[in-house]
A and B are shown apart, each in its own frame.
Chain A
């Protein structure tokens, strides 16, 4: 491995990702596993080991302690698939287009009621030009680089959802 691990940079780290590696860290710590990712901030490695019983054991090796990283083998298709789906939230969009349209309209109304500038762009809602809400328009579907706006909008959507569910309880 050329040079210090934490100085390699994202493009170099990416070359190790999804491969089985052996990491030597500290004085005498050795860890083996499939490299899921390297944190670009701390250079820490996330190693996965898939057990036979379906469990996954996860090792996090801190970047500052890494002495050496050795590639052991390339992944087969099954392992690659498991690596790519690890920790990824399951997204199931079971709503039909009519339901989505209704949800979009009600959310747009709600945001406008709260004096938030919102525009419809196809299937997406754009808030103040800096935040995007994708279908199915839950708090987790908001996308923005502005944390403060993101937090405010997510809270508003959350409020709308809880208001709707109490309404439903009332009519039942």
Chain B
């Protein structure tokens, strides 16, 4: 059986709720955009906006239910540079910037609790 070893953690990226990061900086815009703006067409047409918001809520609800189904499941993450790790999925933040996982099996050992930056993930897989 794999023995748990401590894993060195890199400093965390900027957090959208902490102070000290300029919301107009390119880094913040790239990593921490908290919401997606409406399309140009729907900004002008209230009816279009209504339709867009409805579509948004239907899509989001289904996505959240899927995340909910993922909790406590063994999830296989496909990261950049062909790195594959598996872990027990815990939760995601609302902006889907980080995933909280337990028992992360990394190439150098098992990390009991970890946060995975979603920017490092290409895809992940689980079975229901």
Chain A residues in contact with chain B, CB under 8 A?
Answer: 9-11, 13-14, 17, 25-26, 29, 31, 36-44, 46, 55-62, 64-65, 87-89
Contact = CB atoms under 8 A, between A and B. Distances in A.
B65 A87 contact: yes
Contacts of A25: 122-123
26 contacts: A9-B36, A10-B52, A14-B55, A31-B123, A36-B66, A37-B59, A37-B63, A37-B66, A38-B59, A38-B63, A40-B60, A40-B63, A41-B35, A41-B96, A44-B96, A57-B127, A58-B127, A58-B128, A59-B125, A60-B124, A61-B122, A62-B119, A62-B122, A65-B121, A87-B65, A87-B66
Nearest to A51: B127
B39 to A, nearest CB: 5
Contacts of A65: 121-123
Given A17-B59, A36-B62, A57-B126, 20 more contacts: A10-B53, A10-B56, A14-B55, A26-B78, A26-B123, A29-B78, A39-B59, A40-B36, A40-B55, A40-B59, A41-B94, A43-B36, A44-B63, A56-B127, A57-B125, A58-B69, A60-B66, A62-B122, A65-B121, A88-B65
A44 B124 CA distance: 11
Interface in B82-110: 94-96
Interface string B46-88: 0000011101101110110110111000000010100000000
